[in-house]
A = this chain, B = another copy of it.
Amino acid sequence: MSLSPEDVPLAKAYRLLNHGPTVLVTSAHSGTRNVMAAAWAMPLDFQPPKVLVVIAAETFTRHLVEASGEFALNVPPRSLARATVEVGTVSGRSMDKFQQYRLKTFSAKCISAPLVEGCIAWLECKVIPNAYNQSQYDLFVAEVVSAQADPRVFADGRWKFEYASEDLRTIHHVAGGHFYSIGDVVNANQ
């Protein structure tokens, strides 16, 4: 990585997801790890920060998250769009997707799931178990216990995409590998 991630104060962690980017969900348990893509993730609370993510029942990630009670949400930039599609279309049950798709990782601060290098934000999360939401809706509530971001695009509690390379913009999945990157600043007073 060209720059080191910087800590994001937990009270500002919701801002990493507030604009609706697609994320990579990383997980680990008992020596096995995995990564999948998720468009259905969002903030749920400010402080302590909580998030929601939908993790389908048949996925290998679901098994690792339920076994470990932890996951990380990694926010991929445009340069990882292809990898995001790739890890979103195959199962990690029979392969290590990090190796297969050449995704390097680094250690999280508070959980065992790895964090994906080249992403621009990382939220380390501990599941708040809820059997009904998990079984009925594949829906996981979790508390964010650590947050980091790439200071080239997130600093002083704000995204700063307009000052960085286009390759560092978040990607927003519509369907079938069709993404938009985040665009221009909108001045709501004009």
Contact = CB atoms under 8 A, between A and B. Distances in A.
Interface in A122-137: 130, 132-133, 137
Contact of A179 (B45, B78, B132, B186): B186
Contacts of A50: 137
A84 B187 CA distance: 12
Nearest to A44: B137
Question: Taking the full assembly, how many copies of this chain does it contain?
Answer: 2
Interface stretch (A16-24, A64-72, A94-102, A106-114): A16-24
A19 B180 contact: yes
In this complex, the interface size class of chain A, counting residues with CB under 8 Å from chain B, is 35 or more
A155 to B, nearest CB: 13
Contact of A185 (B44, B161, B180, B184): B180
Interface stretch (A2-10, A27-35, A167-175): A167-175
A74 to B, nearest CB: 16
B184 A181 contact: yes
Interface in A62-98: 78, 81-82, 84-85
Given A180-B185, A181-B183, A181-B186, 16 more contacts: A18-B40, A19-B39, A19-B172, A19-B174, A19-B179, A20-B39, A39-B43, A82-B190, A133-B133, A137-B141, A172-B172, A177-B189, A178-B185, A179-B188, A182-B183, A183-B184
